[in-house]
Amino acid sequence: MFRNVVSRLVTETFRFDRHVKRAAFRPSLTSARVPVRSLTDAKDEVQPPFDSSLLDFLVCPLSKKPLRYDANTNELINEELGIAYPIIDGIPNMIPQEARLLQKDTDASNPPAQ
C-alpha cells in the first residue's frame, strides 16, 4: 500500500516518460524510504569514463582500421565493417564475437566474421 502511494506520488509530480534514461530518476527517489522497484531497476554505479587516449593505437581486430568513439551508446564504431564494440565499466571489449552489427540495428551480439 505504501508502495502504491509512493509510486502515485512520483508519477503525479514528475512526467513519467518511458524513454528517459532510468538513471535520471535516481536523485528524485532518494527521499522515499522504500525503493520503488516497480518503476525502475536502475543500478547505482556510474560508468567510469572511457579513456580516449586509447584510440591512438586501438583498432578493430578484424580490419586493423581506426575506430570512432560514440559517447551516446558508449561504443567503439568501425564504420567500414559496420560493427560496434561495447565498452563496459570503462573497459573496451574488442572481441569480434561480442561486437554488434550496426546495419541490422539489433542489440543481440552477432559475429560479423569468425
Q: Which parts of this chain interact with other proteins (CB under 8 A)?
A: 51, 53-54, 57-62, 64, 66, 88-96, 98, 113-114
Q: Whole-number minimum distance, CB 10 to other proteins, in Å?
A: 34
Q: Does residue 6 sit in helix, strand or coil?
A: helix
What lies within 8 Å, CB to CB, of 59 at 6+ separation is 65, 66, 67
Task: Output 30 or 114, the one with its CB closest to other proteins.
Answer: 114
At 90, list the grid cell. 570503462
Task: Output 23 or 58, the one with its CB closest to other proteins.
Answer: 58
Main-chain phi, psi angles of 70, to 5 degrees = -105, 110
Task: Output 35 or 111, the one with its CB closest to other proteins.
Answer: 111
Would you say 76 and 92 are in contact if contact means Cβ atoms under 8 Å apart? yes
How many residues in the chain? Answer: 114
Q: Whole-number minimum distance, CB 48 to other proteins, in Å?
A: 9
Q: Whole-number minimum distance, CB 104 to other proteins, in Å?
A: 19
Q: Whole-number minimum distance, CB 22 to other proteins, in Å?
A: 23
